[in-house]
Amino acid sequence: RTLEARLRDFERGKGSQIAVLMLPSTEPETPAQYGVRVYDQWKLGRKGIDDGVLVLVAKDDRRVWIVTGRGAEGPLPDAAVKRIVEEDITPRFKQGDFYGGIHAGVDRIMRTIEGEPLPPPRHAGQQSPLFQHIEWIIPGLIILMVAQGVLNTVFGRTVGAGLTGGVAGFLAWLIVGSLAIGAFVGVIAFVFGLFGISAVRHGSGWGGGWTSGGGFPGGGGFGGGDFGGGGFSGGGGGTAGGGAGGSW
């Protein structure tokens, strides 16, 4: 597979974004300055996690620099990045094997990040757990609405609403596997059981709802030349954290 495909697959599987940029020179800037500027403009990594990595190679300058986001500094502190540059990348560059050096460096970065317990990726169009089990939730709520009338008659409105909310929350937790969603469904069922009939009669109700999480465009990228003119799109990550590099 191509390097770009491997980077994209890694992002889909782990969530972290790794980008590679090869260009002739970063002059008049240093590789570190240029790399941070590219990282920030591309917004590598996920928003709020900042787990992006940029591998920058200035071929004519004979310099390489790796920029890490703040969320990637745990598995990739500057000392670890320096070792990757010196042990995996520059020895191959000295032999003229740029392809092999980049692949070796990226492979080690991937292996290192794989061992870090980062939040799982969320892909574009992925639904929340509530909507993924909607075929079970809707019939269950209909049954509970019918049962609510019986429970209110037998136990009174307050106790009946409490039983309805408890059963609804418990079933939602069993089906979806999320305590937060179970609590949400339980509270809604309790409020509906307590005020639902009168609320509908007087035209009041509840707003809001659940939304599916948006993903991030693009994937891992491999670019060259002027970084401002490419089509690479990052994941909304924040400011670059650390970094290290070397020469050959």
| Extents of the domains making up the chain | 3-122+215-247, 129-201
Residue 50: the pLDDT is 83
**Cα–Cα distance for residue pair 80/66, rounded to 1 Å:** 11
CA–chain centroid gap for 29, Å, is 31
Separation in Å, CA 180 to CA 130, 131, 135, 186:
10, 14, 19, 10
Q: How far apart are alpha carbons 159 and 142 in whole angstroms?
A: 19
pLDDT of residue 226: 44
Gyration radius (Cα) of the chain, Å: 26
The ranges of the chain with pLDDT < 50 are 124, 126, 197-232
What the block records as the tokens of 131 is 């909507």
The three-state secondary structure class of 18 is strand
* CATH for the stretch 3-122+215-247: 3.10.310.50
Look at residue 204 in the predicted model and tell me its pLDDT.
37
Residue 134's Cβ-count burial label (10 Å; 0-12, 13-18, 19+) is exposed
Please tell me the distance from the alpha carbon of residue 232 to that of residue 33, in angstroms, as a whole number.
Answer: 20
pLDDT one-digit tens code per residue, 120-158: 666 545 455 555 555 555 666 667 667 766 766 777 767
Strands 221-224, 63-69: pairing kind = unpaired
pTM (predicted TM-score): 0.57
What pLDDT is attached to residue 91? 96
